[in-house]
Amino acid sequence: MGRNILKSSVQNASFSIVFQILFRCITFVLNAFIIRTVGQEVLGIMNVRLLLLESTILFLSKEPILKACLTDTKSHNWAQVINQIWLSVPISALLGLVLVYIWINILVPTEEVYLQQYRLGCYAVALSCIVEQMTQSVELVAQSYCFVRLKVVIDTIYIVSRTIIFVYLVLLYPNGAINAFSIAQIVSSVILSCLYYGFFYWYIPILNKIKSDQNSKQQNENRIFSDMGDFPFTSVWDFFPGIMDNKDRLLNKDLCLLTVSFVKQSVVKQILTEGERYVMTISPVLTFSQQSMYDIVNNLGSLAARFIFRPIEQSAYFYFTQMVKRDEPLKKQDQKRISEASQILSQLCKIVVSIGLVVVTFGQSYSFTLLYLYGGHKLVDNYLPVTLLRFHSFAIILLAINGITEGYVFATMSNKQLDRYNYIMVFFSIAFLLISYIFTYIFGPVGFILANCINMLARITHSITFIDKKYKNTDHHPLIGLKPGNKFLTVLILSGIITKLSEVYLLPKSILLHIGFGAIFFSLTVSVWALENLTLLRTGYDRYKRRASLKTD
């Protein structure tokens, strides 16, 4: 494809970070609105029970097929890929039937006053998932051909529309908050589907017209159509299964085998990602009210992970799938691409480790302050949320390292290696669930975080071992990026000690003075890191300048 994969991946990460910030800001405001309007019980039902149902259906029906179809998109037979991605629709329908039955009839029931709304919510979530899966073929094409801005704009409209519909209905019918949630889910998923198909319904005819006139100046002047000469779709109907001309078999055998490998991996990853919610949902460890409180603190503690680390991880995965071939030794591949991939991996490791260490350092002294500013005395009168947030800061750095290293592992493993790793992940999952249940019984909600830290350490160890072996006989050492600089570590320790003293002696007198001290030492920490990593910053700045000059030209 005529495109810059690295540039598109970085651009995708940048836009995704902005989108995640917008989404989380909306979520935080919405959570506060729900608590003040309808109470913590309803928030627990929606944010833990119903959103867990949505996450389970979408992740298991979409993730394996999408990951497989994103591999080496340049070589795709798109007729086969479209057929394969549409398998997610019947899979989501089947999963929805099974899981809705479990959610309604087997799990711990809600209070009688919410039972009818809860049942409607389960059915609405399953239906919205099916509608969303019907858009997967279009989303896959948009991502493969680097329609980065399109994805961000449509996802933003999707989130904002869902929020507006929900808030409007709750203000009209405060006692029907779960019904409002159900309606918002279905309507917003229909909006998402219409926007994606509507864009390509407009885009493809114009592109066809430009293709038919190779001498047209518009082809060179209009940026949105650049580098799309190999776009294989001539009609919006081509996004539906069985429409495109296909002389080969209906499905690609290699992609099917890769999908099966990712299915095993996705089941395990879903359990690891949402493990604490499954424990809360399956066993009556916490009440719905306690679950909502944990969910608020968990979201607040995961700001860095959701705003920065996850978009970087997703874009890095796509980048590495395009740069490194799965089934060939590194020495037999294009050494320029391997060198670039190694350098990018090292730089990403350095960045996420540095951010994680900053979060750990300042999280110990500013957890109380952050929770007080967010929720007032009601949130900090019980000291448990503060303790949870402080423990979260340690989990964040582990999540950051695991996200990048495991993303590289999944992007470069062969099918056989993926199959072997699936068995290891099964062991990790079982151990994580057992440890979560035991630790929660002993330590309360903090046990969820401790269990997650142990799980992350085990996965990081495996990923580092894999990467080290992969580069063993080469001149590249990407894992060196995991080691922070000595000056940076020194200023972190100094900042941690002084801000902790500030919390003890200054916070009771003036919260603004305590925040001021934090701002000073945060600025000092960032400055020292920048001075220690001038080469990395210059590289990024040079790429930015080249990109800006190309746009100007």
pLDDT at 72: 56
Q: Is residue 511 part of a domain?
A: no
Q: Is residue 546 part of a domain?
A: no
Q: Is residue 340 part of a domain?
A: yes
For residue 108, how many other CB atoms are within 10 A of its CB? 12
pLDDT at 124: 96
Q: Is residue 225 part of a domain?
A: yes
Q: Is the domain of 279 the same as that of 413? A: yes
Q: Is the domain of 294 the same as that of 249? A: no
Q: Is the domain of 238 the same as that of 307? A: no
Cα separation, 203 vs 210, in Å, equals 11
Q: Is residue 68 part of a domain?
A: yes
CA-wise closest residue to 180 among 193, 166, 196: 166
Compute, in degrees rounded to 10, the torsion defined by CA atoms 528, 531, 534, 537: 50
Cα separation, 46 vs 118, in Å, equals 9
pLDDT at 23: 66
Mark 229-267 as b/e (b = at least 16 C-beta within 10 Å): eebebeebebbeeeebeeeeeebbeebeebbbbbbbbbb
pLDDT at 218: 47
Q: Is the domain of 256 the same as that of 285? A: no
Reading the block at residue 249, the tokens are 């078999």
Which among 273, 295, 322 is the end of a domain?
273
Which among 245, 273, 301 is the end of a domain?
273
3-state secondary structure 156-222: HHHHHHHHHHHHHHHHHCHHHHHHHHHHHHHHHHHHHHHHHHHHHHHHHHHHHHHHHCCCCCHHHHC
Cα separation, 388 vs 386, in Å, equals 5
Q: Is the domain of 190 the same as that of 231? A: yes
Q: Is the domain of 71 the same as that of 101? A: yes
Reading the block at residue 519, the tokens are 């701002």
pLDDT at 526: 92
Q: Is residue 522 part of a domain?
A: no
CA-wise closest residue to 62 among 145, 156, 134, 8: 134
pLDDT at 223: 47
Q: Is the domain of 10 the same as that of 53? A: yes
Q: Is the domain of 318 the same as that of 262? A: no
Q: Is the domain of 260 the same as that of 293? A: no
The count of structural domains within the chain is 2
CA-wise closest residue to 413 among 462, 456, 474, 452: 462
Cα separation, 399 vs 308, in Å, equals 11
Amino acid type, 129: C
Q: Is the domain of 118 the same as that of 128? A: yes
Cα separation, 521 vs 500, in Å, equals 12
> Which regions of the chain are under pLDDT 50?
1-3, 215, 218-219, 221, 223-229
pLDDT at 9: 57
Which among 273, 296, 328 is the end of a domain?
273
Cα separation, 103 vs 100, in Å, equals 5
Tell the burial category of 188 from Cβ atoms under 10 Å away from its Cβ (0-12, 13-18, 19+): buried
Cα separation, 160 vs 119, in Å, equals 25
Q: Is residue 514 part of a domain?
A: no
pLDDT at 228: 46
Q: Is residue 168 part of a domain?
A: yes
- Which range of residues forms the domain containing residue 444? 275-484
CB–CB of 373/389 below 8 Å?
Answer: no
Cα separation, 387 vs 22, in Å, equals 27
Q: Is the domain of 263 the same as that of 284? A: no
pLDDT at 145: 79
H/E element, 62: helix 51-69
Q: Is the domain of 198 the same as that of 313? A: no
Cα separation, 3 vs 321, in Å, equals 15
Q: How many CA atoms lie within 13 A of 170 on its CB side?
A: 22
